[in-house]
Amino acid sequence: MANSTAADRRKYWLYFLISFVIFMLMLIFMNQWFWVAMPFMLTYLVLALGYM
């Protein structure tokens, strides 16, 4: 994945932002379940930064 294109990275940033919003909403309203959204958020952050 180190050779991801700019379109892929843009898509990953969008997925990260969506999952971050879901993470924050879960942290506010369902704080015992916030960790369910955490793997998605962190995975897309790593992909968007180009480290995986």
Total domains in the fold of the chain: 1
Model pTM score: 0.85
* 1 in any annotated domain: no
* 44 in any annotated domain: yes
* 17 in any annotated domain: yes
Which residues constitute the domain of residue 33?
6-49
Residue-level pLDDT at 45: 96
Q: Per residue of the chain (52 residues), give pLDDT as tens.
A: 456 788 899 999 999 999 999 999 999 999 899 899 999 999 999 999 999 8
Instruction: Report CA-CA distances (Å) from 52 to 2, 25, 38.
Output: 6, 27, 17
Residue-level pLDDT at 34: 87
Structure tokens that stand for 30 in this block? 């369902």
Residue-level pLDDT at 2: 58
Instruction: Report CA-CA distances (Å) from 46 to 2, 24, 28.
Output: 11, 18, 24
